[in-house]
Structures are given as C-alpha cells and as structure tokens.
C-alpha cells in the first residue's frame, strides 16, 4: 500500500535529505552522489560524497553541469556550475519494491540535463532517477599528465554515471525502489553512454537492463585511442599555454576552458560538434574497445532503436563520410545511394540523400550491429524504428521522447510509453493488449516500425547498406 504524499526526510550516503510532495508522489532534487569535481578534483574519478550536517533541502532546481550555450540548452546553460554531481529521484511511493529507471540525458556529451524525464508520468509507476554528469572538456579530457597520474585518462563523465548507479544500488530502496530491478536508459549521447555502461566492467551488477534510443558506442566513428585522445588534450594545453602542467590546467577558469572546448579538433570525427561522441578507449574505465567489452559483458535485456530520420550531414562532407564509413565497400555504397548522380530525389520519410546517409552511418547501421552483437550472446533484444505522424512533417532526432515519456501519440492512439513501462517492470516490452513486438535474434533480425499505421513487424533494417558497414 502506498504512503500518502507528504514531505519526506530520507537518510542517504552523506546525510539526510528532505524532498517535496509532487504530482501524487515525492520528488527529491540535487542529491549529491559524489564530491564536487572542482579544484584538485577536476579531471579525477568521482570521489565519495562529502558528508553534511543536518537535513539537506532537496526541493529546489539544482545546477546543471557547466556547458556552453547551444541555444536549445539555454536554460541548463544559465544554471550551469562545475559543482554538479547530483541526481534527482521521483517516486510514487516510499515503500514497496518499485522498478527503477535511471535516465542518462543527451546533448552530445557537452550540454543538457535530466530535468524533463524525471517529471514524466512514467514516474507514477516506477522510480525515476535523473543523473547529472560532467560535460565536454570537463568530462572527457585526456592528457599525458593525467594518464601519468591515474594510469589512464578521459571518460570522467562515464565514471560519474557509474558512481551514480552505485549510489542508486545502495540507496534506492529507501525511496521505494528495487535495487534488483534497475533499467538504465538514454537518448542520443545518453544512449551512447548507456551502451558504454553495458560494456564497462565497473558497471556490472549495478543494473539489469537497458534502453538505447538513437545512440551507440562512437556513433559509427572509429574508436579513439588513448594516445589520440591525449593529443587532443595537448591541443587544449597549447591553447591555454599550460606547458604540460595539469596543475595549471586545473587552475584555469571555467570560462577559459569552455572557450577552448569550442576550438578543439579531431580529424577522425564526423565533425567537431561530435568531438566528445567519438569513444576514447582510455585503458581504465574502458580497458578495451567497446565491441570487445560488450562481447565479454553478461547478457542483459535491451531495447535498441533509431528514428526513420535522425539528421544528416551536408553535401560538402558526403564523399568523406562515405569513404570513412564504408572503406573497402565505398564503391558499393556510392552505387547504393546513387551518390554520383546529380540531384538524387528525396524520400518522403527517409529524407534527402545526405539525411539518409547521416542517419544510416551514424544511427541506423551502428544500432543494427549492436543489436546483432548483444542478441548473439543470447540476450533478449527488441529493435524498433520510429516514424512520427506524417502530418507533423518528417521525423527528427529525439522525436520519440514525448511518445515514450510524455503524452504524444499516433493517430491510432498508440504511445511508446506502455512498451517502455512493461520493459522497465519485467525486461519484456510486451504485455496486456499491446500489439506484439517480436524479439530480434541473429536468425530473425526483426524490428517493429512505430508509426501512424500501427506497430508493424518487419525484418532487418536497411540490410543492403548496413551489410556494407562494420564495427571499427
């Protein structure tokens, strides 16, 4: 039986927190799960929470992690702070053993925050935890001096997420959550980070299943070696005239580091906007490349999905993208796309040629490879493609989120939310009167298309082109 909603004081690691009543349940905001990553702790793995005295107020909007403004993230930019390693907990009941959803927000690993999903009505049926993690140069910088100091460097943001998962495992029962029934989920960069948590040995045992919406390890880009990552760190070092001193870099102002973050270049990335989406094999959190680590990881149920159209590149980068992605299959890929014909026609749902290429190589085909790998280990995998209602125009990146966590629905009334809730509860999205969603298996690489017509079971997604790509 649920407890009537009222302000609650809960003991957690570090002290006690007081939340607020919210929408028939309870909401706790800005609970620290690690020490502030500032001063001497900048670019170090997350350290234990610093205990506090008394009851900490957990009712106000906490700071987002420090970030540059990209316009869409302006509200997070305005409240950015380097001291940001906190999480929010939304629970419908302080008792029982409710399933738990841990949300890893998107934003290219350099912007955003978890504020919206924590307030979703999914939180009426499960405990939702929203995690803040270091972003951009603060969360992903590698540097020779850091490697010498720590035996590896970079991926501090993913370490933050592991620390948050450890906090959830140890504390969530006090909020009515079941530590043995935790689902991690994310979209875009958050989905990529979920895939890295599936791979990372340090995260094993901290969750049971995962939802990946439009993001995989490296987004189809070749994995970055530690040496290459350190060279990018030395770009920052040179621009800041730190002369190789990590002490000088740790003493730099936040505005100086944010400005430098926009100037760093990685010639192997699709664009510098994706600088922190190209996965670094740091030798510590990721002791091997993500493909190898996923092959070694325990099998866990996973939803893997992409949108019919995510976003594209541009004509100026078309040839480079095809060559970088398809390598020895470049000629076959160019023929498939009719890339050498003038003015290739748009597809009404897949978009222009460059939108098709961008979605295929960055999202659709990498997701197919991940589904093949995970299902090949015997894990239950459900693959989807989402296509928003045609009267709203072409689908776009992140368009599925309000269907999965909000109130948006197709013309037939269908939402993704019931499937997501079933999966969060049981590890299987099917149940009730929902149209059947068949599993993806190596022998039958099925997916479902969510669109206005229904839930349509189909076979492999774009096999003609995805078969020409491979893990790097």
Q: What is the DSSP annotation of 431-457? A: -TTPPP-PPB-SSS--EEEESSS-EEE
Q: Of the residues 93, 153, 188, 375, which is catalytic?
A: 188
Q: What is the pLDDT of residue 270?
A: 80
Q: What is the pLDDT of residue 389?
A: 67
C-beta atoms surrounding 148 within 10 Å = 10
Would you say domain 9-437 falls under CATH 3.40.50.300? no
Q: What is the pLDDT of residue 392?
A: 66
C-beta atoms surrounding 341 within 10 Å = 10
Q: What is the pLDDT of residue 4?
A: 42
Q: What is the pLDDT of residue 5?
A: 46
CA distances for 471 relative to 217, 373, 418, 464, angstroms: 10, 10, 33, 16
Q: Of the residues 26, 143, 369, 397, which is catalytic?
A: 397
Is 310 known to be catalytic?
A: yes
Tens-digit pLDDT profile for residues 254-311: 999 999 999 999 988 888 999 999 999 999 999 999 999 999 999 999 999 999 999 9
The distance between the two most distant Cα atoms of the chain, rounded to a whole number of Å, is 70
Q: What is the pLDDT of residue 454?
A: 85
Q: What is the pLDDT of residue 444?
A: 96
Q: Which sequence spans correspond to the domains of the chain? A: 9-437
Report the predicted TM-score, pTM, of the whole model to 2 decimal places. 0.96
Is 188 known to be catalytic?
A: yes
Tens-digit pLDDT profile for residues 69-91: 999 999 999 999 999 999 999 99
Q: Of the residues 310, 355, 385, 400, which is catalytic?
A: 310
Is 355 known to be catalytic?
A: no
Q: Which residues of the chain have pLDDT under 70?
A: 1-6, 389-392, 472
CA 227/CA 124 separation, integer angstroms? 46
């Amino acid at each position: 039986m649920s407890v009537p909603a009222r302000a609650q004081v809960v003991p957690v690691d570090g002290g006690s927190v007081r939340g607020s009543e919210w929408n028939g349940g309870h909401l706790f905001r800005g609970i620290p799960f690690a020490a502030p990553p500032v001063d001497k702790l900048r670019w170090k793995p997350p350290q234990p929470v610093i205990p506090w005295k008394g009851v900490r107020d957990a009712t106000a909007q906490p700071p987002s992690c420090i970030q540059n403004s990209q316009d869409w993230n302006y509200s997070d930019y305005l409240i950015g702070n380097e001291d940001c390693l906190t999480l929010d907990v939304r629970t419908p009941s302080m008792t029982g053993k409710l399933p738990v959803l841990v949300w890893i927000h998107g934003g290219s690993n350099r912007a955003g925050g978890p504020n919206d999903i924590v307030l979703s009505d999914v939180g009426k049926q499960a405990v939702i935890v929203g995690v803040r993690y270091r972003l951009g140069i603060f969360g992903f910088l590698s540097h020779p001096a850091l490697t010498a100091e720590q035996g590896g460097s970079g991926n501090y943001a993913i370490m933050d997420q592991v620390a948050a998962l450890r906090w959830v495992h140890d504390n969530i029962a006090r909020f009515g959550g079941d530590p043995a029934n935790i689902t991690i989920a994310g979209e875009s960069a958050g989905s990529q980070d979920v895939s890295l948590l599936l791979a990372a040995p340090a995260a094993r045992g901290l969750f049971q299943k995962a939802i990946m919406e439009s993001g995989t390890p490296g987004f189809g880009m070749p994995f970055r070696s530690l040496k290459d990552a350190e060279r990018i760190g030395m770009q920052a070092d040179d621009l800041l005239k730190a002369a190789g001193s990590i002490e000088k870099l740790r003493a730099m102002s936040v505005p100086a580091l944010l400005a430098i973050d926009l100037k760093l270049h990685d010639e192997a990335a699709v664009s510098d906007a994706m600088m922190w989406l190209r996965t670094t094999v740091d030798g510590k959190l990721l002791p091997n490349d993500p493909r190898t680590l996923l092959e070694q990881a325990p099998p866990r149920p996973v939803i893997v999905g992409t949108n019919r159209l995510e976003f594209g590149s541009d004509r100026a980068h078309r040839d480079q993208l095809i060559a970088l992605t398809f390598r020895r299959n470049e000629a076959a890929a160019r023929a498939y796309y009719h890339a050498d014909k003038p003015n290739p026609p748009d597809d009404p749902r897949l978009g222009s040629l460059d939108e098709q290429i961008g979605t295929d190589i960055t999202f659709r085909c990498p997701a197919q490879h991940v589904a093949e790998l995970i299902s090949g280990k015997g894990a239950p995998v459900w693959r989807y493609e989402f296509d928003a209602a045609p009267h709203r125009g072409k689908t776009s990146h992140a368009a599925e989120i309000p269907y999965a966590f909000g109130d948006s629905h197709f013309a037939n009334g269908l939402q993704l939310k019931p499937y997501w809730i079933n999966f969060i509860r049981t590890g299987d999205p099917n149940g009730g009167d929902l149209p059947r969603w068949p599993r993806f298996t190596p022998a039958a690489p099925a997916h479902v298309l969510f669109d206005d017509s229904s839930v349509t079971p189909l076979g492999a997604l774009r096999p003609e082109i995805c078969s020409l790509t491979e893990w790097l």
